[in-house]
Chain A
Amino acid sequence: DIRMTQSPSTLSASVGDRVTITCRASQNIGSWVAWYQQKPGKAPKLLLYKASTLENGVPSRFSGSGSGTEFTLTISSLQPDDSATYYCQQYNSWTFGRGTKVEIK
């Protein structure tokens, strides 16, 4: 099974900060990575797919990069509405990372 190791598990940052979340795959998965945002009590929302393609309607402050085994999600200027848990997913065989909770200072 392909494991997705996500870090950090939590982070606290101020409005306007640049925030980066990392996901490492246990084997080469090309660019088959998606990123999701989940707020408490809600379903996850797709942010990016194919590692770096922004889903329709997602603000451009979100971006993704990486290929092979190392992937990053970046929020260029953190906004209050970005307080949520973020998950990476590889869709070779669909496993998720364990999430990163982003808090606003």
Chain B
Amino acid sequence: QLQLVESGGGVVQPWGSLRLSCAASGFIFRDYSMHWVRQAPGKWLEWVATISPDESNRYYADSVKGRFTVSRDNPRNTLYLEMLGLRAEDTAVYFCAKDRDSGGYYDAFDYWGQGTLVTVSS
């Protein structure tokens, strides 16, 4: 059974840092691009970052570029999001999601984790 489980969320002060993890199981993790998506309280979904299967390509939303870093550990089946310089507007539930395609292209997000809440507040 395919599963994505996020962890690492919590309360952090402005300008602080946090690292989120997403543990994957039930599929061949190293074959798929992976994504981070966030949702501020009461708001819509916002794509945050994408990483290719071999980490050769990484993409970021303008709102997080230069502050967030997406990475992965394929032997450990784990996706990460390192967040630095956190701002109040980064407060959101962060979801990891799996790409549908395993053929080197990007596709829709077919499986999602349950999300982890990040709150940036003094």
Contact = CB atoms under 8 A, between A and B. Distances in A.
A87 interface: yes
Contact of A96 (B45, B100, B114): B45
A43 B95 contact: yes
B112 to A, nearest CB: 4
A3 interface: no
Interface stretch (B7-15, B16-24, B103-111): B103-111
A96 B113 CA distance: 18
A49 B47 contact: no
A55 interface: yes
Interface range for B = 20 to 34
B35 interface: yes
A36 B37 CA distance: 13
Contacts, number: 53
B108 A49 contact: yes
Contact of A1 (B35, B37, B62): B62
Interface range for A = 20 to 34
B22 to A, nearest CB: 12
A43 B108 contact: no
A33 to B, nearest CB: 9
Q: Which of A34, A50, A94 has the most CB of B within 10 A?
A: A94
A36 B35 CA distance: 15
Q: Which of B45, B46, B47, B62 has the most CB of A within 10 A?
A: B45
14 contacts: A43-B95, A43-B113, A44-B45, A44-B109, A44-B112, A46-B108, A46-B109, A55-B110, A87-B45, A89-B45, A89-B108, A93-B59, A96-B37, A96-B47
Interface of B: 35, 37, 44-47, 50, 59, 62, 95, 100, 106-110, 112-115
